[in-house]
Amino acid sequence: MKGSLFFKVFVGFVVITGILSLALLIISSTAIKNLYIDTLMRETENLGNMLRSDIVAYLEEEKNLQLLVENISTNTNKRITVIRPDGTVKTDSHAEPKRWICTGTGRRSSKRSAARSAGSSGTVSR
Tens of pLDDT, residue by residue over 28-51, are 999 999 999 999 999 988 988 888
- The better pLDDT of the pair 33, 117 is held by 33
What pLDDT was estimated at residue 91?
A: 81
Helices (H), the chain: 2-58, 62-76, 111-117
What is d(CA 39, CA 61) in angstroms, rounded to the nearest whole number?
33
